[in-house]
């Protein structure tokens, strides 16, 4: 496998790595010329631009275990960019495109351990560029989640903008996207994935985010959450539009019950915590969409991870507060927006060929939509 280019998103809690691998042998024929199967460029006007042939791979690491990430990059030689363009200099080969706060925090460590410099790209630019890239290029990419079923959404590229991008990482950013390179961070909240992980670790002693999510699948939040029915004697409150099963107060039952932390199951705690955070993100997101008159809300970030209960809770929150007028939409490659956006920041005009189909990325111009075979959204390496 011939490894070519690597992009990183170094966030507060997780590090996401996307890299492109190529299996082309570039064998020469008896006349010393490259095989006709080689990718030599996509014509654009009077110029030809290099074509990168291969497959995108995705990997993630906890930021606290950054040495595992560095070892992974080193073991696969991802920091040694291939000579994919005849004008590449040796300096270019010692650079990894990176975004997020960790691109600054860990720059010296990458230089010391791998001998590479991190070419820092603006985080918001990358999130939006990655989202636009996926929505324009990959189908199916966006989907709704209702009653336990995924339903993929056909995206009209001529009617994509404006939309609200809600990126749920350690914290939450809400970005109004008006076009390629045209966006504004309009809101956000500090209650996000880091909150779920941090409080969950303190309350349940879980060692990882995935362990906490797995616990939540076996939990029952009604053991801890105070419901409307608990206040009104088990009946609905139609006058204010609340059913008896609606949550009146997250963790509210812990107030009146004579119990200590160890008396509650970790599974129920994690479930209640997940519900609390997902509900609030869904509500705040819709209110911001309403504020700017936006009809489309896309949710991304590694907090979601394709987790059914998380998507269901966010979807229900958006549906409730919009009175059924809006739907939450999710992205298959949700956790890698920043890393993919770093790819589109390359100065050279580039195209990726994947399984026989090509899609061109020509920053900063809009990305042409050509045929593209989608990747496995949850396949990590």
Quote the CA–CA distance of 305 and 210 in Å, as a whole number: 9
Residues 45 and 113 in one domain: yes
Let me know: does 149 contact 281? Beta carbons within 8 Å: no
pLDDT: which is higher, 364 or 113:
113
Residues 116 and 161 in one domain: no
Inside any domain, residue 203: yes
DSSP state of 321: H
Inside any domain, residue 247: no
Identify the pLDDT of residue 11.
Answer: 66
Quote the CA–CA distance of 106 and 112 in Å, as a whole number: 10
| pLDDT surpassing 70 at residue 358 | no
Residues 92 and 220 in one domain: no
Domain encompassing residue 107: 2-122+337-372
310 pLDDT band (50/70/90 cuts)? very high
Identify the pLDDT of residue 53.
Answer: 58
Q: Pairing between strand 55-62 and 14-22?
A: antiparallel
Residues 348 and 327 in one domain: no
Identify the pLDDT of residue 23.
Answer: 58
Q: What is the CATH number of the domain that holds 153?
A: 3.30.420.40
| pLDDT surpassing 90 at residue 17 | no
List 335's β-bridge partners, or say none.
none
Quote the CA–CA distance of 134 and 337 in Å, as a whole number: 8
Residues 187 and 273 in one domain: yes
Inside any domain, residue 254: no
Let me know: does 12 contact 63? Beta carbons within 8 Å: yes
Identify the pLDDT of residue 339.
Answer: 86
91: left (phi over 0), alpha (psi -120 to 50) or beta: alpha
| pLDDT surpassing 80 at residue 380 | no
Using alpha carbons, select from 121, 114, 133, 131 the residue that is nearest to residue 8: 121
Inside any domain, residue 132: no
Residues 294 and 163 in one domain: yes
Residues 53 and 178 in one domain: no
pLDDT digits (tens, 9 = 90+) for 168-205: 998 999 999 999 999 999 999 999 999 999 999 999 99
Identify the pLDDT of residue 360.
Answer: 34
Identify the pLDDT of residue 1.
Answer: 33
Inside any domain, residue 241: no
Name the one residue in this structure whose structure tokens are 């490894």.
3
| pLDDT surpassing 60 at residue 376 | no
| pLDDT surpassing 50 at residue 323 | yes
Q: What is the mean pLDDT of the chain?
A: 79
Residues 356 and 313 in one domain: no
In sequence order, the 6+-apart residues with CB closer than 8 A to the CB of 188 are 171, 172, 173, 174
Residues 70 and 197 in one domain: no
Residues 294 and 342 in one domain: no
Domain count, the chain: 2
| pLDDT surpassing 70 at residue 381 | no
Inside any domain, residue 133: no
Q: What tokens appear for 62 in the block?
A: 């906890």
Inside any domain, residue 276: yes
Let me know: does 85 contact 5? Beta carbons within 8 Å: no
H/E segment holding residue 74 = helix 66-75
Inside any domain, residue 129: no
| pLDDT (average), residues 222-231 | 94
Residues 151 and 47 in one domain: no
| pLDDT surpassing 50 at residue 318 | yes
DSSP state of 374: P
| pLDDT surpassing 90 at residue 283 | yes
Residues 56 and 147 in one domain: no
């Amino acid at each position: 496998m011939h490894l070519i280019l690597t992009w990183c998103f170094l966030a507060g809690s997780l590090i996401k790595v996307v890299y492109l691998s190529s299996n082309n042998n570039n064998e020469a024929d008896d006349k010393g010329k490259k095989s006709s199967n080689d990718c030599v460029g996509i014509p654009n006007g009077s110029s030809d631009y290099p074509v990168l042939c291969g497959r995108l791979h995705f990997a993630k690491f906890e930021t606290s275990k950054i040495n595992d990430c560095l070892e992974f990059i080193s073991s696969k030689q991802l920091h040694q960019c291939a000579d994919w363009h005849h004008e590449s200099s040796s300096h270019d080969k010692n650079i990894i495109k990176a975004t997020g706060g960790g691109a600054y925090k860990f720059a010296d460590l990458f230089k010391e351990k791998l001998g590479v410099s991190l070419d820092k790209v603006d985080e918001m630019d990358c999130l939006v560029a990655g989202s636009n890239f996926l929505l324009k290029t990959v189908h199916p990419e966006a989907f709704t989640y209702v009653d336990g079923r995924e339903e993929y959404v056909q995206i009209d590229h001529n009617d994509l903008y404006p939309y609200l991008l809600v990126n749920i990482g350690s914290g939450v950013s809400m970005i109004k996207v008006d076009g390629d390179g045209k966006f504004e961070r309009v809101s956000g909240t500090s209650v996000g994935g880091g909150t779920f992980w941090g409080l969950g670790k303190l309350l349940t002693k879980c060692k990882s985010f995935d362990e906490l999510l797995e616990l939540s699948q076996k939990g029952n939040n009604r053991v801890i959450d105070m419901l409307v029915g608990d206040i009104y004697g088990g009946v609905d409150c139609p006058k204010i539009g609340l059913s008896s099963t609606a949550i009146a107060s997250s963790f509210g039952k812990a107030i009146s019950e004579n119990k200590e932390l160890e008396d509650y199951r970790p599974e129920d705690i994690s479930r209640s915590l997940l519900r609390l955070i997902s509900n609030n993100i869904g509500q705040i997101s819709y209110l911001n969409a309403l504020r700017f008159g936006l009809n489309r809300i896309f949710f991304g970030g590694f907090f979601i991870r394709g987790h059914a209960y998380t998507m269901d809770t966010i979807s229900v929150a958006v549906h409730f507060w919009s009175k059924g007028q809006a739907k939450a939409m999710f992205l298959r490659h949700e956790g890698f927006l920043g890393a993919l956006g770093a790819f589109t920041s390359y100065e050279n005009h580039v195209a990726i060929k994947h399984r026989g189909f090509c899609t061109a990325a020509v920053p900063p111009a809009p990305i042409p939509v050509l045929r593209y075979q989608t990747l496995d959204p949850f396949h990590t390496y």
